[in-house]
Each structure stands twice: as structure tokens, then as C-alpha cells.
Amino acid sequence: MNFRIYTSEQEENICIRKKAKTWQRSGLISEEQLRLMEAETEPNVHQTNLFFRLIFFLFTWLCATAVTAFVIWLMKEPSDTAAMSILILFSIPFYVLAEYVIKKYRFYRYGIEEALAIASIVSLCVGCGMLLDKYHLDYQIEAIAVSLIFALTFFWVFLRFGFLYSALISITALSTIPFQLSLSPTEERAFLLLILCLILLINILLDKSDNEDFRKERNILIQACLLAAIYLAVNLRLPELVSLYFDDRSIILQPYAGFSSYIYWLSYILTFLIPAIGIYWGIKRRKRLIMNAGLVLACLTLATNKSYLGLTRYAWDPAILGIMLILISTLITRWLSRGPNKARYGFTAENILKPESHGINLTDLGAALTPVFVDSQQPPAQAEKYFDSGKSGGGGASRGF
């Protein structure tokens, strides 16, 4: 059953156009071929670049927030019931406006419809949270209910509009439920792993080979994020690594990180197993994002390895890790470059595809700011004194006296 406001044909055409522009930038197709592909894949929507998308989102979000706050302010110290009612009621016109601007003006990732949809969901969830609080429910029940409301509403936004970040927010809201049940740390992590693994399994089962390309790309991103979330839930030494990063030298490593020994060593094994699965899965299925996620997780495993084994950390450990990574990447690059056509098994170290420009070129921005920065470093010019450049002992006789 399709709940999306955009048709599959529209989103597939947008995906094809995006790929065609990448191919043209990279010199794989000509300008004429690009025009022919664009003529055949007209999505009939209005789009903008990332910079203006963020600007429109921020402006629309501020307007929606200001209107809601203004109505609450007009009530002159409203009660919690009145504020709750306004938030829930305002969620309806915000959502209707989001649907209206898409159908009327054919916006696609324009920022305006996104801000209206998110403002509607946030207003509804906050209002529902205030409503539950009014009935003085148990804190755990109330927290779980609010988490479920956030998860369901943001998941609906993902189903309806296709915003990927809505799916990630929904997963995050579900992931907070185990921490509201007064469970032990081991039970909390086990419950969290169960939730994340179930979502990942469902996503993999729905990710069929005959799906459209745009669905495959979204599923790959969600799968990579879920893989990273599972790893973060498994690695028991990451909080200490974060504390060390912020130069908290006073931290003392707890034996087995506060868990039982068998849970601790099982976690240690999984910190190696999960990145290996991610790398193998990404290579076998040609899913670059998942492979990259696996490589990043492998680096985190190496970074926390000493903490797991209780070994002494030294100031040069990051340097050794960096040198090792450089050597490995150099060896792999040379191995790929020596293959036929500088490729092996469908992989190459050559930069074939040029990235898309989102309207913000950091190089041009830096070049534009350089004169301002240089001028700001110059000492201010001093006003010329009237008796400067004078001769005859500095009395100024050469200045017309």
C-alpha cells in the first residue's frame, strides 16, 4: 500500500536526473545526452539547492513557531490546558498547509513543506505530552507514551513525504523506550539491541532487488545508520573514549565497564564482528555507504581496544593508529591501481564520479573572505601629522612656511 504524496515515477525520475547530472559532471555522458535524459524524466516538481532549502526551512519554522507563540501570548498567561489545546489545534493547519503547498506548488525537498510538516508533528507531540501530564500518570508510562507518539508520527511523515531524517528520528524515539523501564544496564542494552535488530531485519526483508533506485538508496542509508546504532549499543567502552577526547583525564576505567564478565567479553567480540559484517556486506552487495560505515566502526574498535584489554594508553596512540590507517589505505590503493584498467573485482581507487554542488562552495567562500581577513590584520592607518616630512631640523620648513 502506497501512502506517499509523491508518485513512484516522480521520485524515480528525480533519482535518474540526479545520477545523470553526476555522470555529465564526470564526463561519462555528453551535454546532449543529459538533455535527452532530462526530457524523458520530467518529474513535474519544483526543487532548490541545499542552501536555499535550509534557508526556507528555517524561515518557515520560525514563522510557524512565532504564530503559535503569539496566539498563546494573546491569551494573557494561559493555563496549561489552553496551551495544550492550542498546540494540538495548530498541528492540524500546519499539516494541511504542508500537503497543500506540495499539491498546489509541487514542492519537493523545498524546505517550506518540510518545516510545516515537522512543526505539525512537534506541536502535536508536545501537546499530547502536556495532555498526558495533566492526568498525573506514572512517569514511566508517560515517557513511553510520548516516545511512541514521536515514533509513530515521525514514521508517518516518512511514509507520507519520504523525509529520511523523519525515519531516523522515529528510530531514535523508539530507542529511548528501554531506558524508561527501570531495567538493569544489561537489560537496557539487550532490549535496545532487540529493537534495532528487528528494525534492521524488517528493512532488509523489504529491500527487494526489484525496488526502484530511490527506495534502494533510502534503505541503504537507513541500514547504515542502524548498523552504526547497533555498534554503539554494543561497545561498552565508547563513553570512556568520548571522555578522553574531551580531555577528562580523571576518568577511571571500571572493571568490565560495570557489566558482568561474560557480557563484557561478548561485547568485545561483537565490536570486531559487527564492522567485519558491515564491510563484507557492503562489498558483496555493492553498498558503498554500508562498507564505509563498517570501516568507521572498525576504526572505533581499534580506538577502544586498549580500554577493553585494560592496557595503558599513551599520547602517541592516535598517531600510531593514523599511520597504520595510511599504510593500509596506500597498500589497497596500489593493489587496485595495478589491476586491469586500474580496477579489481569491480572496485577502483580512481575518483570516477564528481560530487554534486549544493550551492555552497567552501573554496570560493574562503577566497572571498581572505581579503577581509587580511585587511583586518593590517594596522590602522595613522593620520598624517602636519609637521611630518619637514627638513631643517623637523620644523617643517619644506612644507611651505
Q: H/E/C letters for each residue in 135-178?
A: CCCCHHHHHHHHHHHHHHHHHHHHHHHCCHHHHHHHHHHHHCHH
User: CA nearest 348: which of 358, 357, 356, 337?
Assistant: 337
- Percent of the chain scored above 90 by pLDDT? 65
Q: What is the pLDDT of residue 176?
A: 95
The amino acid at residue 387 is F
Burial category of 170 from C-beta neighbours within 10 Å (exposed 0-12, middle 13-18, buried 19 and up): buried
- Please write the tens of the pLDDT for every residue from 144-164: 999 999 999 999 999 999 999
More confident residue, 194 or 314: 194
Q: What is the pLDDT of residue 358?
A: 58
Q: H/E/C letters for each residue in 179-243?
A: HHCCCCHHHHHHHHHHHHHHHHHHHHHHCCCCCCHHHHHHHHHHHHHHHHHHHHHHCCCHHHHHH
Burial category of 192 from C-beta neighbours within 10 Å (exposed 0-12, middle 13-18, buried 19 and up): buried
Q: What is the pLDDT of residue 371?
A: 53
- Write phi, then psi, for 395 (nearest 5 degrees): -80, -5
Q: What is the pLDDT of residue 134?
A: 86
Q: Are 50 and 355 in contact (CB under 8 A)?
A: no
Q: Are 151 and 195 in contact (CB under 8 A)?
A: no
DSSP string, 13-37: HHHHHHHHHHHHHTTSS-HHHHHHH
What's the pLDDT band for 401 if we cut at 50, 70, 90? very low
Helices 80-105 and 112-134: crossing angle in degrees, nearest 10, is 160
β-pair partners for 343: 348
Q: What is the pLDDT of residue 193?
A: 96
Q: Are 34 and 93 in contact (CB under 8 A)?
A: no
- Please write the tens of the pLDDT for every residue from 342-370: 888 878 878 777 766 655 555 555 565 55
Chain centroid offset of residue 291 CA: 17
Lowest mean pLDDT among 84-98, 166-180, 214-228, 343-357: 343-357
Spatial separation of the C-alpha atoms in residues 272 and 277, rounded to whole Å: 9
Q: What is the pLDDT of residue 390?
A: 52
Best mean pLDDT range from 212-216, 238-242, 277-281, 386-390:
277-281
More confident residue, 32 or 257: 32
pLDDT at 20 over 80: yes
- Please write the tens of the pLDDT for every residue from 370-380: 555 445 455 55
- Please write the tens of the pLDDT for every residue from 72-117: 999 887 788 899 999 999 999 999 999 999 999 999 999 999 999 9
